[in-house]
Structure 1
Amino acid sequence: MSRIGRQQHRSFLFVPGNRPERYLKAWESDAGAVIVDLEDAVPIEEKDRARAAVANWISPERPVLIRVNGLATPWLEEDARVARLPGVAGVVLPKAANASDVAALLARIKRDIPVYPLIESAAGMWNVLEVASAPGVRQLMFGTLDFCVDMGMTLESGTLSPFRADMVMASRVAGIRPPVDGVTPDIDDDELLRTETVEGRKWGFAGKLCIHPRQAPVVNGCYAPSETELAWARRVLEAFERANGAAVAVEGKMVDRPVILQARRILEEDEPEA
């Protein structure tokens, strides 16, 4: 069940804003967080109805994120009003290109609220450290499909690796959470979803966007430490504690500070989402 606080989430599930009958199902799914989408998923003629549906449904007992329409659109002002309501735990900003975009969004919302900028363009990627460092940013998200269109790239294995590395590094330098990877459009291909999720984790991402509830358990499982990793981490920390500051080896490898930090991080990742 979705809970949005300060903990790290592994899966972020989009639900169309114009489909209120899906809100509760999404919120009760295995997704770590739900994003009610007022942007791409909603046709122009249904924007007002979707916004009203979100405003009527959300509450502090059912916290969600919302993806607002872009800064240059005529719908943002009304979206910003919804973002002020209790129950909106954060705002996903589409097509974030620089720090001023984040500032402009917060100025319209007039509320201290976490922002999740979507990096979906060459401009956003070029300025990714600036965006990550902007006040209010909680975590970057990678809009892989739109990014590939903007760049004229084909979405194939490995093509986005350099950009994933850029986003992870920018997040680290800015002191925010590792980023969230883009969607896998094929909702029936669990193997493809698993492959793409593992690829994102390999590059340092901390979660993935989902477009169907059935994708969330796969994503959660891929980002959760394996039993082998957990056992190794426990052995490392136990050996370190027993050594009491002396040099120690585990499985023939010296245990130094980076190894200890890695072991602690693995065990922290195993903590359940609350």
Structure 2
Amino acid sequence: MSFPLTWLYAPGDRPQVVRKALASGADVVIVDLEDAVAPERKAYALDATVDLLSDPHPLPVHVRIHSMRDIPPLASLPGLGGFRVPKVAHATDIRRIAELVPGVPLYPLLETALAVEHAYAIAGAHPAVHGIALGEADLRADLGVREDGGLDWPRSRIVVAARAAALPPPAQSVHPDVRDLESLAASCARGRDLGFLGRAAIHPRQLPIIEQAYLPTPDEVAAAEEVVKAAETESGALALPDGRFVDAAVVEGARRVLTLAARREE
């Protein structure tokens, strides 16, 4: 199993920017038909995205829709990798879309206090849900949060909800200041501590910072190798040479560390 670490947004009304995003090295490109596109350019953005996705691409291309009207022209295109669905507040919101587009992966964005309260129900609403994430700009406004630490509880909430619903760990929301890479690195380190895996970006210069922050350190790789080696020779609870006992969940986490470490060799 591969674990995407970088998810790059590109505005749907700027096809040349989208094509640069496809060549940026991001793991996933998200064509944005919502906040990044002015109202008078929504129709053009949709048409341009239909044209782009008429052919398959070597990496997943998701579309953050603006409204339900965006779905029918895009749903059956060979280049579509999934829909990012903004402002989901109830499980019924995502079930309705899943019934319209069977087989298309869906990624609900939770952007209000109500959505966070319903996080687990949304995460488990339908097999088409492949992941959840926060929309932090809108959530911050909804909650009236001024300091970044005020979002730690909602962040932890969706990490737990994703895990409980057997989904991959969520990716962090975007860091809006594309010039302040030092703050981006610090924010990624905090996100990793909270259980996120990877991050959405709005500029290619952010991608290497995100990837570096989420790749395991040499010490983490060595510890994971020790756990996996023990798991291959024993069953049940494992005793490591230093006397620590680890169980199946720890072994699973160690294998994920080694999968991520393999990216350095690619």
Q: TM-score, normalised by structure 1?
A: 0.87
Following superposition, the deviation at residue 262 of structure 1 comes to 3.4
Aligned equivalents of 1:235, 1:198: Cα separation in 2: 24
More displaced, 230-239 or 12-21? 230-239
Match for 1:189 among 153, 158, 180? 180
Q: Give me the identity figure in percent.
A: 34
Partner in structure 2 of residue 95 of structure 1: 87
Question: Aligned in 2, Cα 1:213/1:246: closer, same or farther, shift over 3 Å?
Answer: closer
Following superposition, the deviation at residue 104 of structure 1 comes to 2.2
Partner in structure 2 of residue 13 of structure 1: 8
Count the aligned residue pairs. 261
- Secondary structure of the residue that 2:81 maps to in structure 1? strand
- Secondary structure of the residue that 2:4 maps to in structure 1? coil
Amino acid in structure 2 at the alignment position of 1:68: I
Following superposition, the deviation at residue 127 of structure 1 comes to 0.6
For structure 2, the residue ranges without an aligned partner over 5 or more in a row are none
Following superposition, the deviation at residue 200 of structure 1 comes to 1.1
Aligned equivalents of 1:66, 1:87: Cα separation in 2: 10
Residues 83-136 of structure 1: CA deviation (Å, up to 9, x unaligned): 33111110000011011111222344x332110100111111011111000111
Partner in structure 1 of residue 146 of structure 2: 154
- Secondary structure of the residue that 2:18 maps to in structure 1? helix
1:38·1:68 contact (CA, 8 Å) conserved in 2?
A: yes
Q: TM-score, normalised by structure 2?
A: 0.90
Aligned equivalents of 2:157, 2:46: Cα separation in 1: 34
Aligned equivalents of 1:147, 1:222: Cα separation in 2: 24
Aligned equivalents of 2:183, 2:226: Cα separation in 1: 33
1:190·1:215 contact (CA, 8 Å) conserved in 2?
A: yes
Match for 2:246 among 256, 259, 264? 256
1:206 and 2:203 matched: no
1:222 and 2:217 matched: no
Residues 146-200 of structure 1: CA deviation (Å, up to 9, x unaligned): 10101111142x2211111111111111111111211100101111111111111
Question: Aligned in 2, Cα 1:163/1:245: closer, same or farther, shift over 3 Å?
Answer: closer
Aligned equivalents of 2:236, 2:140: Cα separation in 1: 49
Match for 1:61 among 48, 57, 67? 57
Aligned equivalents of 2:91, 2:137: Cα separation in 1: 22
For structure 1, the residue ranges without an aligned partner over 5 or more in a row are 1-5, 71-75
